[in-house]
């Protein structure tokens, strides 16, 4: 059976992609953020995942306000990116794990989630930037043969743009269903779960530039051992505490739901601001059910 080895959650600000392209990883402004990935790279080298299931939010490259699903699951053989207008180089195409995608889709529908099934799906900076941060050598490769991506992906899009948004509780339940699907998949795969976005930030309106360090720290503390406590926040309360774009924390809650074993935090990096955003990168370990029962 497939095994969920753990998770990584990180920010996906477009300016990060520009900093990578311009080689600014060691600039004083950027270094505190990029140093947070030293442990991520160590963990990935040690655990060697085969697949990354990625919870993210689309920013108009694949969906727009006229047609925006609450939840969408990619079931494509590969995922390509296009120019988004941020000055970010277009990402290399990323291979998909199609059979696992369909297994997840079937499980979600059986669990009463109405998902959009995407056999063609573009990926934007919310997915391509975390990929480049986690595997910089593969992201920088010009050709595919000499340095292929070390993982295949299953992208799962969550609406964080057009209200009404799904609740924290609903996204956590979505993750739980995805976790059960992975654990019931009859192929020997090492699966990591990724969440991208956040933490607190607001890009426009009267509160533009809003960052709430206290609420961010509360979320980072509670999500490991007390995720149910976070599901009690309504979407309006989440916007109030984390900003209109801080609702990307929905992706983190789905990721946490998918970690169905005994979860522990291995590393945390929190830095403000990165382009008006509270940037966080966290690595979580997921011990399987047998370990949880033995504890």
Which residues does the annotation mark as catalytic? 125, 201
Q: Which residues contact 218 (CB under 8 A, 6 or more apart)?
A: none
Q: Is 66 helix (H, G, I), strand (E, B) or coil?
A: coil
Cα 152 to its chain centre, rounded Å, is 14
Of 54, 49, 72, the residue nearest 2 (C-alpha): 49
Give the per-residue pLDDT at 101: 98
For 166-187, what is the mean pLDDT? 98
For 81-97, what is the mean pLDDT? 89
Give the per-residue pLDDT at 144: 52
pLDDT tens profile 225-277: 999 999 999 999 999 999 999 999 999 999 999 999 999 999 999 999 998 89
Give the per-residue pLDDT at 218: 97
Q: What is the mean pLDDT of the chain?
A: 93
Domains annotated on the chain, with CATH: 3-294 (3.40.830.10)
91 has a pLDDT exceeding 50 = yes
Q: Which residues contact 201 (CB under 8 A, 6 or more apart)?
A: 210, 211, 242, 243, 245, 246, 276, 277, 278
Give the per-residue pLDDT at 227: 96
**Local confidence band at 200 (pLDDT 50, 70, 90 cut-offs):** very high
Q: Is 291 helix (H, G, I), strand (E, B) or coil?
A: helix
100 has a pLDDT exceeding 90 = yes
Give the per-residue pLDDT at 289: 67
291 has a pLDDT exceeding 60 = no
Cα separation, 137 vs 148, whole angstroms: 9
Give the per-residue pLDDT at 204: 87
Cα 80–Cα 44–Cα 124 angle in degrees, nearest 5: 20
For 87-94, what is the mean pLDDT? 89
For 134-144, what is the mean pLDDT? 82
Give the per-residue pLDDT at 85: 82
For 132-148, what is the mean pLDDT? 81
Q: Which residues contact 85 (CB under 8 A, 6 or more apart)?
A: none
Give the per-residue pLDDT at 89: 86
| The residue count for the chain | 295
Cα separation, 100 vs 6, whole angstroms: 17
Describe the strand order of the beta sheet including 152-158 as a list of residue ranges. 116-118, 71-74, 152-158, 51-56, 190-196, 3-10, 277-287, 262-274
| Better-predicted residue by pLDDT, 100 or 83 | 100
Give the per-residue pLDDT at 292: 45
φ, ψ dihedrals at 124, nearest 5°: -110, -165
Residues in a beta bridge with 79: 94
Lowest mean pLDDT, pick from 12-16, 37-41, 93-97: 12-16
For residue 282, the tally of other CB atoms under 10 A from its CB is 23
162: left (phi over 0), alpha (psi -120 to 50) or beta: beta
Q: Which residues contact 267 (CB under 8 A, 6 or more apart)?
A: 36, 39, 40, 43, 281, 282, 283
**Local confidence band at 84 (pLDDT 50, 70, 90 cut-offs):** confident
Share of the chain above pLDDT 70, in %: 96
Give the per-residue pLDDT at 295: 42
> Which H, E and C letters describe 21-50, residue by residue?
HCCCCCCCCCHHHHCCHHHHHHHHHHHCCC
104 has a pLDDT exceeding 80 = yes
CB-based burial label for 183 (10 Å; 0-12, 13-18, 19+)? middle
Give the per-residue pLDDT at 83: 86
Share of the chain above pLDDT 90, in %: 83
Of 150, 158, 155, 117, the residue nearest 134 (C-alpha): 150
Cα separation, 274 vs 197, whole angstroms: 12
């Amino acid at each position: 059976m497939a095994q969920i080895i753990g998770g990584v959650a990180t920010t996906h600000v477009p300016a990060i992609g520009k900093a990578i392209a311009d080689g600014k990883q060691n600039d004083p402004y950027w270094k505190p953020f990029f140093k947070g990935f030293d442990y991520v790279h160590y963990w990935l080298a040690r655990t060697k995942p085969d697949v990354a299931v990625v919870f993210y939010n689309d920013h108009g490259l694949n969906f727009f306000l006229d047609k925006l699903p609450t939840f969408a699951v990619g079931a494509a053989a590969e995922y390509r990116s296009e120019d988004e207008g941020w000055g970010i180089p277009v990402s290399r195409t990323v291979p998909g794990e199609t059979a696992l995608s369909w297994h997840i889709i079937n499980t979600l529908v059986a669990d009463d989630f109405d998902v959009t099934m995407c056999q063609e799906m573009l990926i934007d900076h919310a997915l391509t930037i975390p990929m480049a941060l986690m595997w910089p050598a593969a992201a920088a490769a010009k050709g595919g043969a000499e340095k292929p991506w070390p993982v295949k992906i299953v992208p799962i899009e969550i609406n964080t743009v057009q209200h009404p948004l799904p609740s924290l509780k609903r996204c956590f339940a979505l993750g739980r269903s995805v976790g059960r699907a992975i654990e019931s998949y009859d192929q020997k795969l090492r699966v990591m779960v990724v969440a991208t976005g956040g933490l607190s930030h607001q890009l426009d309106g009267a509160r533009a530039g809003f960052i709430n360090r206290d609420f961010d720290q509360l979320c980072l503390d509670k999500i490991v051992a007390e995720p149910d406590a976070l599901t009690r926040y309504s979407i309006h309360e989440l916007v109030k505490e984390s900003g209109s774009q801080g609702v990307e924390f929905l992706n983190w809650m789905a990721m946490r739901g998918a970690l169905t074993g005994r979860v522990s935090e291995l590393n945390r990096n929190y830095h403000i601001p990165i382009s008006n955003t509270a940037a966080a990168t966290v690595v979580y370990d997921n011990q399987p059910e047998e370990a949880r029962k033995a504890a």
